[in-house]
Structure formats: structure tokens, C-alpha cells
Amino acid sequence: MAKFTDTEGRDWLIEINVATVKRLRAALPGVDLVDPAEDLFRRLATDPVLLADALYVICRVQVEERGLTDEDFGAALAGDAIEAATEAFLAALVDFIPSPQRRTLVAKAWAKVRDLEALGIHRMTELLDSGHLEAEAEAAIREMTTSLLTKKTKKTKKTKTETAGENFTRSPEPSEPTQAA
């Protein structure tokens, strides 16, 4: 059984079993842990609202025992609590898998996902801290500015040439006064 702590310091136990799966199916169409849609686990791991809804269904008995509402439960899920709840949910899901070999496989796959995510965060942090991103952005802005100014200058010169040509060839408009001879 997995556990997480919400922002109010309350501990919640997550246990996924057949009864839990049935409650989830009934309460949240499209959330089927036995026969999941292709992107269900990604959605649960990245959509805190969907995760909170699923966790509420899983923890409903605990919520009611504490005299809380769905709103109270969801209001205490933010920041680190969501991260902890996600980890606990996935740990409980791994525990639910009936085959020891498959449990091991899914646990390893999830560990690899976490490792890759940590690596991505580390590399992005290095990039942001290095100053290379700012230098590249500044170079791109300079290039765009130069390009736009060049186009504007060419357009202005062309318009002046066309306007000058019109001044020599156009007749006075009917509303313009003409000098009498």
C-alpha cells in the first residue's frame, strides 16, 4: 500500500485492487486501469486534475471518514503533494499488477522514465544556466531586426521612387484648384 501527504499534512493511503478499479470505471469514464487507453498513464502522470479525481475515488472512504469533501481533498493537492501523490499512485498501480515479472518490468520502466525526466531537467538547467540560450536568442533578435529594417528601407525607397514618378505624371484632381491662365 502506497502513501502520500497532502499540503495540509494529512497522510493518504492508496490501495489499488479490483474494487478500486470498479469504482474508477464507474466514476471516471475512460479511466480503466486494467484495460487502459494508450495515453491514460501519461495523462494521469501529467494532468493533476485527472489525477486528483482518480485519487479522490481511490481515497473516498478516507475522505468521508475525515469529514472532508471532494473540494477539500483537491484543495490540498498542489506542488510537492501532487508529485508525491503521483509517485504513490504509480507505486500502488505496480503493486496491483498480478504477475511478479510484469510488476518488475513496469517498475523498471517507470524508474527509467523518472531517470530520463531527471536527466532532461538537469540538461535544461545546464542550458539555462550557461548563458548560451540568451546569446542565441539575442543573435536571432539581431538577425530579425536587421532583416526587417532592410526590408523596410527597401520598401520606403521604392515607395518614394513611385511617389516621385507620380508627381511628374499625374494630373490635378478635380477638387484641386487650378491656376487660370
DSSP string, 111-141: HHHHHHHHHHHHHHHHHHHHSHHHHHHHHHH
Q: Are residues 63 and 15 in the same domain?
A: yes
Both 142 and 127 in one domain: the answer is: yes
Q: Averaged over 51-75, what is the pLDDT?
A: 97
Residue 53's beta-bridge partner residues? none
Sign of CA dihedral 83, 87, 88, 93: positive
Residues 81 and 59 grouped into a single domain: yes
| Structure-block grid coordinates of residue 62 | 478516507
Whole-prediction pTM: 0.64
User: Is 82 inside any structural domain?
Assistant: yes
Q: Would residue 176 count as lying in a domain?
A: no
Mean pLDDT over residues 30-40, rounded? 83
The answer to whether residue 179 scores a pLDDT higher than 80 is no
Give the three cell numbers for residue 138.
539575442
In whole angstroms, what separates CA 66 from the centre of its chain? 32
Residue 109 lies in domain: 98-151
Sign of CA dihedral 3, 89, 86, 77: negative
- State the average pLDDT for the chain: 85
In a domain, 171, yes or no: no
Span of 1-5, 24-28, 42-46, 78-82 with lowest mean pLDDT = 42-46
Give 131-178 pLDDT, tens digit per residue.
888 888 888 899 988 888 887 777 666 666 555 555 544 555 555 555
Residues 59, 117, single domain; the answer is: no
Considering just the CA atoms, what is the radius of gyration of the chain in Å? 32
48-52, 53-57, 87-91, 99-103: segment of lowest average pLDDT: 99-103
Amino acid symbol at 117: E
The pair phi, psi for residue 177, each rounded to 5°, is: -70, 145
Q: Are residues 119 and 85 in the same domain?
A: no
In a domain, 168, yes or no: no
Quote the number of domains for the chain.
2
